[in-house]
Chain A
Amino acid sequence: LQVDLWQPSSPIHIVEGAVADVRVPQNTTRSLLPYLQQANIQYTILISDLQQAIENQTGGRSHRNRRSLSGYNYEVYHSLEEIEDWMHYLNRTYSDLVHMFSVGKSYEGRPLYVLKLGKRSRPYKKAVWIDCGIHAREWIGPAFCQWFVKEALQTYQTDPDMRKMLTQLYFYIMPVFNVDGYHFSWTNDRFWRKTRSKNMRFHCHGVDANRNWKVKWCDEGASLHPCDDTYCGPFPESEPEVKAVAHFLRKHRKQIKAYLSFHAYAQMLLYPYSYKYATIPNFNCVESAAYNAVNALQSAYGVRYRYGPASSTLYVSSGSSMDWAYKNGIPYAFAFELRDTGHFGFLLPEMLIKPTCTETMLAVKNITLHLLKKCH
């Protein structure tokens, strides 16, 4: 039987009549307490759950705490390792609502993790796909994905909308799409955007993961030069990350009714097309969903988002995931460009994570509830 001695400082000082404080793991109490009783040693339990006590104390201010939903700090940016540990934790702890799986491996061999969220209420449920961090430097994206999961798990019992969402739908959440790039933006270059695949002929690395999809690939708004930040790649789905997610979405295309991709920055809610100036067939449904979502978002702090087809609202680009998802039969395909509009740009301060995520939640819930009302 081993104990962690908290008082006195050394076993030499343990004498009859003196007080000793010990800490034991939960399962050890089963053997320790009877032992003390048998030995006629009086005891009092001072702290019955040490983990909880620590979390209560450090919860809000703790920087790298990933042990529990309430202990994890959702208002700071987390490294890839921290996010993966967090996903593993949720997978273990909320197994009735969360299922973590991998869709493949990145160029540098990292697993591509996705969380499947939702109540296993019926055999076949429609789904919503959400990805964040296609572009490495857009850190507010992964921060939002984590926030979304937190909100879902924390409010599913108390919020009727969230309960409805998780009961009637599954959510596939990919907190970091471009894992290699994201890691690189933490260790080497904060403004890295692309993947980290090596190029055969040039010294430059990486492909723009949002120009690599097989939809009017490498037409306008993408570059054929490997050193450019909008490099479309040597061929469509050349990037293992893109190929893996495309494979998953193709396989589940009948189930997935909405595709949401989170980027930064511009404060926009975009829908297809990016590659051309044209109106989508289900324009009325999509446009009204966007209009309502943007208004819902604005209701939080008054922040205004522009919305519309990507080509005319932002710029023309080809090979984007949103256009591809739409072409693949997903009726609602959106790309969010989160805060801000250039003041901090990619370096959005951590203290703006909470308001950004709070308002964006309203938009996402709004789109989801709109989806459930069948307007495809």
Chain B
Amino acid sequence: DIDDVGHKYYLELELEDVLDKDRTVNCTAEVLYHLGSKNSAPDVQVTVQGELRSTEEADKEFYNWIRSLEKELVAENIPDSHGNVPPELEPIHLLAWVASGYVIWQNSTENTKFHLAQVKHVKQVKRSDEDLQFDFVVLLHEMVSQEVLPWQVTLLWHPQRGARVSQS
């Protein structure tokens, strides 16, 4: 407890690579929830202790594939009702997770627990610069209220520059 400021949490986390289950990496984090936290996102500082797996090749492959599409990519319901994701859309699914992470961070309090329930809709938007742009509608499930609500979020991504959220 920090008087007049809020609650600070010190965390030791173990990250597991979803795509390589035996691979884990430790990290530490400090999270500060502000008093009256309805209006502001918590402050987060993270330190990763170790290296994350390089995804350079897969990134390039995905990037080139999207750039080569004649029509902008559009997809819905990832995963579908039965939990299936077409293999070529798996990278979109992963990017949606990143985008959701931003929305979750912005909307988290000490009394919420969010998960990405489904990518309802994704539309690629062609850009004049080198970034890929994906406009997502993601469904987030909040554990305490049990609500599943849609959120709009636009993600920009580039193999070297990484992911950035444009607006939400």
Contacts and interface: CB of A to CB of B under 8 A. Distances in A.
Interface of A: 76-77, 137, 186, 190-191, 193, 208, 223, 228-230, 266, 315, 342-350, 352
Nearest to A346: B117
A349 B146 contact: no
B146 A347 contact: no
Given A190-B81, A191-B117, A350-B83, A345 B141 contact: yes
Contacts of B2: none
Nearest to A352: B83
Contacts of B18: 343
The interface residues of chain A, by DSSP majority, are classed as loop
B84 A349 contact: yes
Contact of B148 (A191, A230, A342, A352): A191
Q: Counting chain B CB atoms within 10 Å of each CB, which of A137, A346, A350 scores highest?
A: A346
Given A77-B82, A346-B141, A350-B82, A229 B118 contact: no
B interface bracket (residues with beta carbon within 8 Å of A): 10 to 19
B58 interface: no
Closest 10 CB pairs of A and B: A349-B83, A342-B115, A229-B146, A191-B148, A347-B83, A347-B79, A190-B81, A229-B147, A350-B82, A348-B83
Q: Counting chain B CB atoms within 10 Å of each CB, which of A76, A137, A191, A349 scores highest?
A: A191
Contact of A315 (B116, B139, B144, B147): B144
Nearest to A266: B143
Q: Counting chain A CB atoms within 10 Å of each CB, which of B83, B115, B144 scores highest?
A: B83
Nearest to B147: A229
Contacts of A230: 145-146
25 contacts: A77-B81, A186-B81, A190-B118, A191-B117, A191-B118, A191-B139, A191-B141, A191-B148, A193-B146, A193-B148, A208-B146, A223-B145, A229-B147, A229-B148, A266-B143, A315-B143, A315-B144, A342-B115, A342-B116, A343-B18, A345-B117, A346-B141, A347-B83, A347-B118, A348-B83
Nearest to A137: B148
Given A190-B118, A347-B79, A349-B82, 6 more contacts: A76-B82, A137-B148, A186-B81, A342-B116, A345-B117, A352-B83
Contacts of B117: 191, 345-347
Nearest to B144: A315
Interface in B69-111: 79-84
A228 B145 contact: yes
The interface residues of chain B, by DSSP majority, are classed as loop
Interface of B: 18, 79-84, 115-118, 139, 141, 143-148
Contacts of B83: 344, 347-350, 352
Contacts of A191: 117-118, 139, 141, 148
A223 B146 CA distance: 11
Given A228-B145, A230-B146, A349 B118 contact: no
A223 B81 CA distance: 28
Nearest to B118: A347
A348 B80 CA distance: 10
A343 B18 CA distance: 9
Nearest to B97: A343
B95 to A, nearest CB: 16
Q: Counting chain A CB atoms within 10 Å of each CB, which of B18, B84, B139, B141 scores highest?
A: B141
Contacts of A228: 145, 147
A22 B79 CA distance: 46
Nearest to A191: B148
Nearest to B111: A315
A29 to B, nearest CB: 41
Nearest to B18: A343
A159 to B, nearest CB: 30
B138 to A, nearest CB: 12
Contacts of A352: 83
A349 B83 CA distance: 4
Contacts of B81: 77, 186, 190, 347
Given A344-B79, A348-B83, A229 B145 contact: yes
Contacts of A346: 117, 141
Nearest to A348: B83
Nearest to B78: A347
A230 B144 CA distance: 9
Nearest to A230: B146
A346 B143 CA distance: 12
Contacts of A77: 81-82
Contacts of B79: 344, 347, 349
A340 to B, nearest CB: 10
A194 B74 CA distance: 31
A198 B139 CA distance: 25
Contacts of A345: 115-117, 141
Contacts of B143: 266, 315
B109 to A, nearest CB: 14
A352 B147 CA distance: 25
A191 B141 CA distance: 9
